[in-house]
């Protein structure tokens, strides 16, 4: 399903569950009613910032608007997942956090020369990494850990941490973030 349609469906459903009108949600989020209406109709692809505002107003995690309703078992194809890119850092959200799940699962792809720094996640969060391809350095609390294929690392994710790929080959990491 196209991401705009997923967002449209989820926004309307979540807004109605809270008995909010489009105008009330718009006011809480600091966006116009027209923006909310266009998103719910699927006529607009909201910016990342708009999604943050709407999910903040609904007091939900950012990924709540991006998650498709599914029945079990769930077969997820990479080509069906939205890719978020920041320079040479690519992230694919396979399992977003939701009311039933206190974790998120991502695939991260870091191109050669990638340097990405996270300011840290919420308190009581932990990050679990498994390097599937290539090599990567992970820096936590000024300590650098060199990961090679099939290596794993976990750490307190509430502190700033960085990922670096100094190799020619793209590094692929499976990342799980747990929220306690």
Segment 111-124, tens digit of pLDDT? 999 999 999 998 99
Q: What is the secondary structure of the chain as a DSSP string? A: --HHHHHHHHHHHHHHHTT--HHHHHHHHTS-HHHHHHHHHT-----HHHHHHHHHHTT--GGGGTPPP--SS----GGGSPEEEETTEEEEEEE--BTTBSEEEEEEEE-TT-EEEE---SSSEEEEEEEEESEEEEEETTEEEEEETT-EEEEETTS-EEEE--SSSPEEEEEEEEE-
pLDDT band at 87 (very low <50, low <70, confident <90, very high): very high
What is the rounded CA–CA span in Å between residue 134 and residue 71? Answer: 34
Res 64: pLDDT: 85
| Whether 175 contacts 108, CB under 8 Å | yes
Res 3: pLDDT: 80
CATH 2.60.40.1180 applies to domain 78-179: no
pLDDT digits (tens, 9 = 90+) for 18-75: 999 999 999 999 999 999 999 999 888 888 889 899 999 999 888 888 887 655 677 8
Domain span(s) for CATH 1.10.260.40 in the chain: 3-65
Domain spanning 3-65, CATH class: mainly alpha
Domain span(s) for CATH 2.60.120.10 in the chain: 78-179
- pTM beyond 0.75: no
Is the pLDDT higher at 3 or at 57? 57
């Amino acid at each position: 399903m196209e991401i705009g349609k997923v967002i449209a469906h989820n926004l309307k459903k979540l807004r109605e569950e809270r008995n909010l009108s489009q105008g009330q949600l718009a006011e809480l989020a600091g966006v116009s009613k027209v923006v909310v209406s266009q998103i719910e109709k699927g006529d607009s692809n909201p910016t990342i910032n708009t999604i943050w505002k709407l999910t903040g107003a609904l007091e939900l995690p950012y990924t709540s608007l991006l998650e498709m309703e599914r029945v079990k078992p769930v077969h997820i194809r990479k080509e069906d997942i939205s890719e978020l890119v920041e320079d040479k850092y690519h992230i694919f959200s396979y399992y977003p956090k939701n009311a039933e799940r206190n974790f998120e699962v991502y695939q991260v792809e870091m191109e050669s020369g990638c340097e990405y720094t996270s300011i840290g996640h919420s308190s009581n969060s932990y990050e679990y990494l498994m390097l599937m391809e290539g090599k990567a350095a992970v820096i936590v609390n000024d300590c650098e850990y060199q990961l090679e294929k099939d290596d794993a690392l976990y750490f307190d994710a509430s502190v700033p941490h960085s990922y670096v790929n100094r190799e020619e080959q793209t590094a692929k990491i499976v990342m799980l973030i747990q929220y306690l």
